[in-house]
Amino acid sequence: MKVVAVDAARGLALCADAAGARQSVETALVEPVAPGDRLLVHAGTAIAALASEPR
């Protein structure tokens, strides 16, 4: 999923999947994250950060 917005104080990120569906995601395991990052999300928690898509 792609990070849309980050709430660093609460350790959450708003993420969107390929279809555009959005979900709050725990980021404690992969911090720091920034908008545009791609995360592997499992049960609402980002368990790995993937290399960014080339621009």
Partner 1 sequence: VKFVDEFRDADLGQAVAAEILSLVEPGRHYKLMEVCGGHTHSIYKYGVDDLLPANVELVHGPGCPVCVIPMGRVDDGIALAHEPGVIFTCFGDMMRVPGSRGSLLEAKAAGADVRMVYSPLDALRIAKQNADREVVFFAIGFETTAPSTALTLMRARTEGIANFSCMCNHVTIVPPVRALLESPDLRLDGFIGPGHVSTIVGARPFEFIPADYGKPVVIAGFEPLDLLQAVAMILRQVAAGRAEVENQYTRVVPYEGNLRALQVMAEVFELRPHFEWRGLGFISHSGLAISERFADLDAERRFSVPGVRVADPKACQCGEVLKGVIKPWECKVFGTACTPERPIGTCMVSSEGACAAYYNFGRFARQREVV
Contact residues toward partner 1 (CB under 8 A) are 11, 18, 23-24, 26, 28-29, 40, 42-45, 47-48, 50-51, 53-54
DSSP output for 1-55: -EEEEEETTTTEEEEE-TT--EEEEE-TTT-S--TT-EEEEETTEEEEEEPPPP-
Question: Residue 24 CB, nearest distance to partner 1 (Å)?
Answer: 6
Question: Residue 55 CB, nearest distance to partner 1 (Å)?
Answer: 11
Q: In the complex with partner 1, which residue's Cβ is closer, 24 or 34? A: 24
